[in-house]
């Protein structure tokens, strides 16, 4: 075991997969010689060569398309899109091609591509370096969508994603790269070295897709969340001294409906939280599942916590971010309803 | 004072009721364009992208440095594939009109592009076609019945009923699945070629788009990535002058040839007579050898004419001169190869008639067999459960549930 932040854990996952499987190649803007703007691929080109860790032109549509072509030709590409905000030029290749090749060719062709992309705000990125567009991809049949919240899961989920023969969009909440963040930007940053999930096995291991993690067991209320909001939810529930059950979904597609429903049936109360905008956000899907499967066990209307339905503004980042206050308000509402 | 700046609105030379006019097409005489060494640098051979590589002259003789000196037997095979493509197209068009299939796209007048190129490539080379490249499937020996099964979405459909007619694929034939989203296959072919180079294999990738879809960003991505990594790929723009009703001026063809975009990206560009089987073959052979020997990618513009409607849903009489195709200055690819073979003493009108009859019979017999596997309206049908397969490698729980709901819905009827 070693102390790793999320960047180091992701780097370790790619290092291990490059070492284990000759067909794995990495590609993306600034990822080769330089090691990536967030350093996720640092040292990997030096170790595995320029033919396996490729710098690319600034063309997200081209990166995804080239990765698809490589995938069809037997490689297992891991493409980095430098910021999730930049993924849109690649959407046609992702939604119309990558997601559909197995289906339209009746399984004769497939492209086992993993697309890694840093998402979310809290780093003073303004509206073009802070978005959480995961819901767009969960709406496309044929894609798996993953978002880890800590180094241990990030490594295991990335290895699983790379080994998966289906395409995976792998979102990395960049505010969590260096430590668990409870939503309070005024407190000193907490490094992963102080957190159990920052203890990472240096070798090969996997974390399955479609299996949520019950981060904290509790009896009062279920908080269903993922990514940046996991530690915010933990802090908010603790501040209210609630015995909350906090569920980190880890993968949105496939979705672990069993863990969600078992918990809500137990607690009878449910809050759904994500950093992405609220309207048509993935939270709406979770609400629908809980309503359909757990309606008669609910003691109160389900509450939803999300970013406001605006772009992510540079100067008002913390007014936008769904921090502890917003989560606490939702928790209070579900707890007071009889 | 009014501003002298005016918006230029490209206008085709002839609309319905007007006389066809192809004076805008720059032609070079057959045999006039020199053939550079395959290792020539893109920057030194810019002329290839503005001249027109032609081998067959008006008398049907093969002339000049691009003459590929093919064996007459190979030329006869090429003629057979082109004629079969045409007869197959004609029959499927009529089948659509009779309501037996929902949609069809003919390649009338463009048969040389697919057939000659396929013959100039190796079986291990990977093809990324558009929807008007049925000649590739025919030249790679895919049985007509397989293509018809797809058109019918019947129980033997290679796409299991998921794709619009003509969106074929063949894994054993190394022909990639066709997308309805235009030009997406162009940069994918470059990625495939990059992988071949990474694996140090000497396979080449080739892809086709129309001049109309060269307007998509994918075209730019393909040329850019091909140039940056010097990928072993042949990128083909089939300039058939029309993107449904929009003539090539709206893809930027008025100001410069499509082939000239190659040198703009630092890759070789060749403008070739797309109705000249020998010229297409020779240009492809040159490009393939270049790619295979590490001299990089090539962009080939095939100057041809879409003699038929865009698809069975289109009526070109509404936007272009009715007898346009008959006035196309580069003629008809089947007739030109036939004329050449006759000039060589290797073919005759009688043999041509006999071959046409034989291929008619083959198409008819294939159709008879295909319909035994079901049609849109009669006979066996695919199991609708197939809708839920291949979304993912393994069917996830939510799809299993939805499949069961669909079964219940059908059972309840």
> Known catalytic residues of A?
129
The Cα B120–Cα A225 span in angstroms is 57
pLDDT at B5: 86
Partners of A145 in the β-ladder:
A169, A253
Determine the structural domain holding residue B403 and report its residue range: 383-413
pLDDT at A337: 78
**Does residue A49 belong to the interface with chain B, where contact is any CB pair within 8 Å?**
no
Return the number of other C-beta atoms located less than 10 Å from residue B358's C-beta.
14
Asked whether residue B341 falls in the same domain as residue B311, the answer is: yes
Confirm whether B11 is domain-assigned: no
Q: Write the pLDDT tens digit of every residue in A132-187.
A: 999 999 999 999 999 999 999 999 999 999 999 999 999 999 999 999 999 999 99
pLDDT at A43: 98
The Cα B6–Cα A275 span in angstroms is 49
| pLDDT over 90 percentage in chain B | 97
Contacts of A329 (CB under 8 A, 6+ apart): none
Q: Does position B213 have pLDDT exceeding 80, yes or no?
A: yes
Percentage helix, strand, coil for chain A under 3-state DSSP, each rounded to 5: 40, 20, 40
Q: Write the pLDDT tens digit of every residue in B247-268.
A: 999 999 999 999 999 999 999 9
Asked whether residue B402 falls in the same domain as residue B353, the answer is: no
The Cα B318–Cα A58 span in angstroms is 42
pLDDT at B354: 98
pLDDT at B13: 92
Asked whether residue B388 falls in the same domain as residue B374, the answer is: no
Which among B158, B188, B392 has CB closest to A106? B158
Strand, helix or coil for residue B127: strand
CATH number at residue B125: 3.40.50.970
Contact indicator for A143, A137 with CB cutoff of 8 Å: yes
Contact indicator for B374, B154 with CB cutoff of 8 Å: yes
What is the ipTM score, two decimals? 0.97
**Does residue B354 belong to the interface with chain A, where contact is any CB pair within 8 Å?**
no
A75: nearest CA in chain B? B195
Q: Count of A–B CB contacts within 8 Å?
A: 141
Asked whether residue B266 falls in the same domain as residue B400, the answer is: no
The Cα A328–Cα B368 span in angstroms is 70
Asked whether residue B377 falls in the same domain as residue B387, the answer is: no
Asked whether residue B355 falls in the same domain as residue B387, the answer is: no
**Does residue B328 belong to the interface with chain A, where contact is any CB pair within 8 Å?**
no
Asked whether residue B363 falls in the same domain as residue B412, the answer is: no
Asked whether residue B364 falls in the same domain as residue B391, the answer is: no
Asked whether residue B369 falls in the same domain as residue B388, the answer is: no
A49: nearest CA in chain B? B198
Confirm whether B287 is domain-assigned: yes
The Cα A11–Cα B154 span in angstroms is 48
Q: Write the pLDDT tens digit of every residue in B269-288.
A: 999 999 999 999 999 999 99
Give chain A's residues under pLDDT 70: 338
pLDDT at B3: 79
Which among A56, A103, A105 has CB closest to B391? A103
State residue A153 phi and psi, 5-degree precision. Answer: -70, -40
**Does residue B385 belong to the interface with chain A, where contact is any CB pair within 8 Å?**
no
Which among B177, B195, B222 has CB closest to A73? B195
**Does residue B188 belong to the interface with chain A, where contact is any CB pair within 8 Å?**
yes
A210: nearest CA in chain B? B396
CA of B129 vs chain A CAs: smallest distance (Å) = 13
Asked whether residue B344 falls in the same domain as residue B393, the answer is: no
Asked whether residue B335 falls in the same domain as residue B393, the answer is: no
Confirm whether B218 is domain-assigned: yes
pLDDT at B412: 65
Q: Write the pLDDT tens digit of every residue in B155-185.
A: 999 999 999 999 999 999 999 999 999 999 9
Confirm whether B160 is domain-assigned: yes
Buried b (16+ CB within 10 A) or exposed e, B1-12: eeeeeeeeeeeb
Confirm whether B345 is domain-assigned: yes
Mean pLDDT (chain B, rounded): 96
Residue with the bigger pLDDT between B27 and A337: it is B27
Percentage helix, strand, coil for chain B under 3-state DSSP, each rounded to 5: 40, 10, 50
- Provide mean pLDDT across the span B304-311: 96
Contacts of B347 (CB under 8 A, 6+ apart): B76, B79, B338, B341
Q: Confidence class of residue B4 from pLDDT cuts 50, 70 and 90?
A: confident
**Does residue A105 belong to the interface with chain B, where contact is any CB pair within 8 Å?**
yes
- Provide mean pLDDT across the span B58-63: 96
pLDDT at B90: 98
Confirm whether B57 is domain-assigned: yes
How far CA B363 is from CA of A100, A336, B143, B145, B314, in Å, comes to 31, 75, 10, 9, 24
Q: Write the pLDDT tens digit of every residue in B314-351.
A: 999 999 999 999 999 999 999 999 999 999 999 999 99
Domains of chain A: 2-200 (3.40.50.970), 213-336 (3.40.50.920)
> In angstroms, how far is CA B93 from the centroid of its own chain?
17
Which among A65, A73, A110 has CB closest to B218? A65
**Does residue A66 belong to the interface with chain B, where contact is any CB pair within 8 Å?**
yes
Contact indicator for B129, B140 with CB cutoff of 8 Å: no
Q: Find, among A161, A312, A326, the residue nearest to A251 by Cα.
A: A161
The Cα B90–Cα B112 span in angstroms is 16
Query: Testing the interface with B: which of A59, A60, A63, A65 to mutate, by most B Cβ within 10 A?
Result: A65
CB contact under 8 Å between A73 and B126, yes or no, is yes
Q: Confidence class of residue B376 from pLDDT cuts 50, 70 and 90?
A: confident
Q: Which two tokens stand for residue A230?
A: 């996991």
Question: Domain total for chain B?
Answer: 2
pLDDT at B413: 55
CB contact under 8 Å between A106 and B181, yes or no, is no
Asked whether residue B237 falls in the same domain as residue B300, the answer is: yes
Confirm whether B20 is domain-assigned: no
B388: nearest CA in chain A? A103
Contact indicator for A171, A134 with CB cutoff of 8 Å: yes
Q: Find, among B32, B41, B92, the residue nearest to B66 by Cα.
A: B32
- Provide mean pLDDT across the span B304-322: 95
């Amino acid at each position: 075991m070693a102390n790793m932040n999320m960047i180091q854990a992701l780097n370790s996952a790619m290092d291990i997969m490059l070492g284990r499987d000759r067909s794995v190649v990495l590609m993306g803007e600034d990822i080769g010689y330089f090691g990536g703007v967030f350093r996720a691929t640092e040292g990997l080109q030096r170790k595995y060569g320029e033919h396996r860790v490729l710098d690319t032109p600034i063309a997200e549509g081209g990166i995804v398309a080239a990765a698809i072509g490589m995938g069809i030709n037997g490689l297992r590409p891991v493409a980095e899109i430098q910021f999730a905000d930049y993924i849109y030029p690649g959407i046609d290749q992702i939604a119309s091609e990558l997601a559909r090749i197995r289906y339209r060719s009746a399984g004769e062709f497939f492209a086992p591509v993993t697309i890694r992309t840093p998402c979310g705000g809290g780093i003073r990125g303004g509206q073009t370096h802070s978005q959480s567009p995961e819901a767009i991809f969960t709406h496309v049949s044929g894609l798996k969508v993953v978002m880890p919240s800590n180094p241990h899961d990030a490594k295991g989920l990335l290895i699983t994603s790379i080994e998966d023969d289906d395409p995976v969009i792998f979102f990395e909440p960049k505010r969590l790269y260096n430590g668990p963040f409870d939503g309070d930007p005024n407190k000193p940053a907490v490094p992963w070295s102080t957190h159990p999930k920052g203890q990472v096995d240096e070798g090969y291991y996997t974390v399955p897709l479609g299996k949520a993690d019950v981060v904290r067991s509790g009896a009062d209320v279920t908080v269903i969340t993922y990514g940046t909001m996991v530690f915010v939810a933990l802090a908010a529930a603790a501040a209210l001294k609630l015995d909350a059950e906090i569920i980190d979904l880890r993968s949105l597609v496939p979705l672990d409906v069993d863990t969600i429903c078992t918990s809500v049936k137990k607690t009878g109360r449910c809050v759904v939280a994500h950093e992405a905008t609220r309207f048509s956000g993935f939270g709406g899907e979770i609400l629908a599942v809980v309503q359909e499967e757990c309606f008669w066990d609910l003691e109160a209307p389900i509450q939803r916590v999300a970013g406001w339905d605006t772009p992510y503004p540079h100067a008002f980042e913390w007014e936008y971010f769904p921090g502890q206050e917003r989560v606490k308000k939702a928790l209070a509402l579900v707890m007071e309803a009889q | 004072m009014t501003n002298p700046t005016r918006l230029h609105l490209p206008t085709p030379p002839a609309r319905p009721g007007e006389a066809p006019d192809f004076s805008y097409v720059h032609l070079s005489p057959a045999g006039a364009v020199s053939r550079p060494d395959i290792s020539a640098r893109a920057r030194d051979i810019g002329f290839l992208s503005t001249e027109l590589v032609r081998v067959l002259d008006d008398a049907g003789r093969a002339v000049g440095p691009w003459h590929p000196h093919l064996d007459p037997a190979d030329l006869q095979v090429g003629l057979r594939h082109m004629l079969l493509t045409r007869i197959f197209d004609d029959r499927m068009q009529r089948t659509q009109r009779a309501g037996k299939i929902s949609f069809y796209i003919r390649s009338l007048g463009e048969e040389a592009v697919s057939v000659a190129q396929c013959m100039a490539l190796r079986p291990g080379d990977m093809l990324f076609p558009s929807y008007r490249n049925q000649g590739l499937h025919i030249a790679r020996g895919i049985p007509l019945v397989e293509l018809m099964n797809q058109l019918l979405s019947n129980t033997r459909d290679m796409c299991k009923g998921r794709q619009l007619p003509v969106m074929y694929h063949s894994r054993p034939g190394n022909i990639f699945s066709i997308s309805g989203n235009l030009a997406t296959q162009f940069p994918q072919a470059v990625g495939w070629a990059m992988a071949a180079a990474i694996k140090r294999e000497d396979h080449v990738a080739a892809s086709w788009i129309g001049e109309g879809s060269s307007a998509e960003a994918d075209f730019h991505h393909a040329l850019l990535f091909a140039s940056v990594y010097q990928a072993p790929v042949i990128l083909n723009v089939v300039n058939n002058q029309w993107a449904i009703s929009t003539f090539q001026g709206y893809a930027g063809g008025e100001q410069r040839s499509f082939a000239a975009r190659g040198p703009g990206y630092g890759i070789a560009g060749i403008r070739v007579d797309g109705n000249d089987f020998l010229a297409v073959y020779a240009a492809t052979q040159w490009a393939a050898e270049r790619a295979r020997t590490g001299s990089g990618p090539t962009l080939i513009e095939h100057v041809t004419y879409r003699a038929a409607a865009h698809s069975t849903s289109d009526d070109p009489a509404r936007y272009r001169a009715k007898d346009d195709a008959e006035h196309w200055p580069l003629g008809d690819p089947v007739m030109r190869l036939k004329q050449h073979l006759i000039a060589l003493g290797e073919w005759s009108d009688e043999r041509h008639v006999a071959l046409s009859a034989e291929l008619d019979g083959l198409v008819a017999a294939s159709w008879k067999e295909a319909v035994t596997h079901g049609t849109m309206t009669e006979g066996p049908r695919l199991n609708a459960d197939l809708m839920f397969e291949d979304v993912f490698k393994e069917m996830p729980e939510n799809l299993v549930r939805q499949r069961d709901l669909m079964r219940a819905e059908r059972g309840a009827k």
